[in-house]
Amino acid sequence: MIGRIQGQNRFETTHVDMVPMVDCVMVLLIFLMISTAFVNDPGIEVQKPDVSGTQMGDQNALLIAIAADNRIYFDGQEIRPDQVAPLIKQAAIGRSPAVIIRADRFSTHGVFAAVYAEAKRAGIQHVQFATTRADGL
């Protein structure tokens, strides 16, 4: 009985290597983060005028909102009309975005015209305004 192995139970531990799976998930996550287009909302909700035949906006656009009480918002902060051009110039460094003005239907035309003029003065080629589509047209 000396040479006989007495029923030794040998348990082998299995090892699952998670590194390749984590690498794949990280590559997918980085790809999705880079390819996603983020749009900065101006921070307020406006009632846009109803217009038919409009086109969808650009994903690379800068948004400016004009509230019903004629306050102007850019990047979630209230600004004055004379601050529009410098802030747009700063936000447009290295790219040529369009500017979309989202004016409330109850805001005055003069404030909209002032914001439009300041955006043009900042050197933006494409200044647009946001509307909603009218039903039935």
Query: What would the pLDDT profile of 3-24 be if each residue is shown by its tens digit?
Result: 555 556 677 778 888 899 999 9
In this predicted model, what pLDDT tens digit does every residue of 66-119 receive, in sequence order? Answer: 998 989 998 888 899 889 889 888 888 887 788 888 888 888 889 989 999 998
- Is residue 65 predicted with pLDDT exceeding 60? yes
Q: Which residues pair with 101 in a beta bridge?
A: 64, 129
Place of tokens 């749009």: 39
Among 60, 79, 54, 70, residue whose Cα is nearest residue 110: 70
**pLDDT confidence tier of residue 51, bands split at 50, 70 and 90:** low
- Closest Cα to residue 91, out of 122, 65, 112? 122
What pLDDT sits at residue 136?
44
* CA 114 – CA 85 distance, rounded (Å): 11
If one counts every other C-beta atom within 10 angstroms of the C-beta of residue 61, the result is: 18
Domain positions in the chain:
39-137
Q: How far apart are CA 97 and CA 75, in angstroms?
A: 15
Contact between 63 and 45 (Cβ < 8 Å): no
Q: What is the mean pLDDT of residues 32-40?
A: 76
For 24-49, b/e burial (b = at least 16 CB within 10 A) is eeeeeeeeeeeeeeeeeebebebebe
**Statement: the pTM of the whole predicted model exceeds 0.75:** no
Q: Which residue has the tokens 């040529």?
A: 96
